[in-house]
Chains A and B, each alone.
Chain A
Amino acid sequence: MATTVTFSQEIGNLLHAAGGTPVSACMQCGTCSGTCPVGDFMDVRPQRLIRMIDAGFKDKVMATRAFWYCASCYQCTVRCPRGIDIAELMYGLKRYTIWKNQYPEDLIGPAFSETFVKNIVRTGRSYEPVLATSYFFTLGLKEMLSEAQNATMLMLKGRLPVLPARIKRLENFKRMIKRIIPIGD
């Protein structure tokens, strides 16, 4: 259905609290792409992603992997001459594609967030071994071996906890979270 809201405005709505300049202010100088340490591994570099948003290619943007590969290092944000908060935009797009259930299925990022968040909500703390092992199955055999090797090494050096740590007032903590994400049991 046709609407009067452009995709670039839609993104502006998503980031209404972020305080950066709207993406339409981009002058395509390329600083963000040039400075991004992950640029070589992105399917679409930041500068082009912003152009695509501005041009209203919603479906294409939502299907992009680039923002899942963003390391949130804020290099682009700090250097953008137009004051566009590109790193926040990347976060926003992660969130938006999860809400709309529109990310490529083979991505590890969304599943990784899920485990991490569930873990914290359950215990109040993050528990690295659980996190790592639940990811073994997503890695190839070679990576799996090297990950296991690392875990063993950390274990031998006494650097991995044996039991997940929990916070003490866990019940309060869980109720606190329910006030922010209103979902029942």
Chain B
Amino acid sequence: MSEQKQLLIIDDDPDFAEGIKSILVKAKYKVDMAHNPKDGWAALEKNKYDLLLLDVMMGRGAEGIMIARKLGKDAKFRELPVLIITSIREQMAFLFPGGAVHPNFVDVDELIEKPVEPKLLLDKVSALIKSSEAKKKK
């Protein structure tokens, strides 16, 4: 097996982030957490990650989308795979009906909705890392 993969979670809900982290740690990933977009970006700048798990509603509104867009615009980050974990539909349901829209800002990303099933989470994480590595090799 290759070396241990390093992941970052940016999510404002400490309990939820902690829950996801423990699932991932059990599966032998190395996991960092940030609880607001500012700290999250700082972590991205500082360390090298194999995957980002990103929440949508944080701080002032859908700031997760801001981050995804910023990553997509930056050559340094464009290839970082992103798993967007959102409950935006639930959170904003009172504003709009309809499902969450997949923003597609970076090369490899996916969207899953909270609450997240552990098995599904692990499948998606490893699939995303694999497909991004495959892309890089090309």
Direct interface between A and B, CB < 8 A: yes
List the interface of chain A (C-beta within 8 A of B).
1, 3-5, 9-10, 12-17, 95, 98-101, 110, 114, 117-118, 121, 178, 180-185
Q: Which of A95, A110, A183 contacts B89 (CB 8 A)?
A: A183
How many Å from the CB of B119 to the closest CB on chain A? 19
Complex contact B95–A185 (CB within 8 A):
no
Complex contact A114–B95 (CB within 8 A):
yes
Q: Enumerate B70-106 residues with CB–CB distance to A below 8 Å.
A: 88-92, 94-101, 103
Complex contact B61–A180 (CB within 8 A):
yes
Q: Which of B35, B38, B95 contacts A181 (CB 8 A)?
A: B95
A181 to B12 alpha-carbon distance, docked (Å):
17
Residue of B nearest to A178 (CB): B101
Q: Is B57 an interface residue when CB atoms closer than 8 A count as contact?
A: yes
Q: Which of B15, B58, B101 contacts A183 (CB 8 A)?
A: B101
Complex contact A117–B59 (CB within 8 A):
no
How many Å from the CB of A50 to the closest CB on chain B? 20
Chain B interface mostly: mixed
Contacts of A114 in B (CB 8 A): 94-95
Q: Is B52 an interface residue when CB atoms closer than 8 A count as contact?
A: no
Contacts of B19 in A (CB 8 A): 1
Residue of B nearest to A113 (CB): B94
Q: Is B14 an interface residue when CB atoms closer than 8 A count as contact?
A: yes
Contacts A3-B18, A182-B65 known; A14 to B12 CB distance under 8 Å? Answer: yes
How many Å from the CB of A113 to the closest CB on chain B? 8
Complex contact B92–A183 (CB within 8 A):
yes
Residue of B nearest to A2 (CB): B18
Residue of B nearest to A7 (CB): B14
What 1/0 flags go to B7-20 for Cβ under 8 Å of A? 00000101101110
Residue of A nearest to B96 (CB): A183
Complex contact A3–B15 (CB within 8 A):
yes
Complex contact A180–B62 (CB within 8 A):
yes
Complex contact A183–B100 (CB within 8 A):
yes
Contacts of B61 in A (CB 8 A): 95, 180-181
A14 to B57 alpha-carbon distance, docked (Å):
10
Complex contact A183–B95 (CB within 8 A):
yes
A10 to B95 alpha-carbon distance, docked (Å):
25
